[in-house]
Structure 1
């Protein structure tokens, strides 16, 4: 059997945020995870897109490849034993192959699969993931061609359609909704749950909107404290 293109992962449509957060890959772990997935899951080429709304593996593999092994291997690499068993992940995972995989990659890159369709961040996030994979020697001719075309397609979608008109992201939409309900926000206290990219965006938007106080909570107290300091808020324990 010749090599095939695959897209395997979790996203906001298929999996709860708690699972996506635990499988998310930090920048310091990216090279290690790429190498581990390539060796243990059997990819010839591989890249991983890890954002607030998705953890998706795009890769090329040949005979004997078992796509159902990808997420359990990722869980093991992330040292999450409770999610390392196949039956814990199968109901939340998606698998695309060949043309379907390419179509999915194109749609993700063009922000057609985003929680807020048309949001601009995803294109940069996919580009960053591609560059990291290339820097680690994980990109071959298939991924290179596929992603090059996906980037060109995404640019055309943004310039030739109305998809990006008035585009926002989830954080800005949430703050806009808060302003319609509580405006002005100057006398309000806002609770930000989490300390990742989306949480920091929300905190920044809230500050710009003039919120009175910002409280940050997260399972990791050091991360909550760091975010609170960056946005001029304070943190509270996850469990009180």
Structure 2
């Protein structure tokens, strides 16, 4: 397969899965392997195209970012709490990510880990959907400090490929009483500092791999992921509001089982 098609396909996969509770990293690893490429060699690319998905959130929610920025200048309560919640939820990922960076990186090419994480995560989603008791919180500014800390701690589980950052944060929030819509939006906004930090860390660590050709491929992959993510995020809110997260749980279980079967016979 020509590299161009691989780059476009991986960009589509990133945009499709970054904000769904199905694990974008896991799908990128499996997609790379399915197309006959070494996932380890493409691990940096898969992380480096994340800015495209980040930009999608900035564009879709620019009014919220603008309102919060203006509110911070006036030290408005809602804006301050919104920012506090994101910073508190982001901090555990920074600490754990820096401490276990080498361990996490060693898992980025392991398709078997991804398959099992997809299945276990799918079961976890079904359990949370069945037993979680949530109530309207009035948006991210209505999320408590305790709930924000819990979301941040749960997000660390997503450093294992296949767990899903969005899935962990959304289901973590719901487990502590946050309603579906707010949990999903919390996950979207938390993605901006989290994915930015992960991308900067990996690019700084592996800058020697960034030749002119690689930068061009990364730019194309990021552009594709941006376009796809814009469409997906809008649809995702509508789906979870009406149907919940169970459809994604069953998809994870089927995809994980399929991946294990493929790994066993390849």
Q: TM-score range by the shorter chain?
A: under 0.3
Q: Higher RCO, 1 or 2 (CA under 8 Å, sep at least 6)? A: 2
TM-score, normalised with respect to structure 1: 0.27
TM-score, normalised with respect to structure 2: 0.25
The structure with the greater share of residues assigned to strand is 1
Rg larger in structure: 1
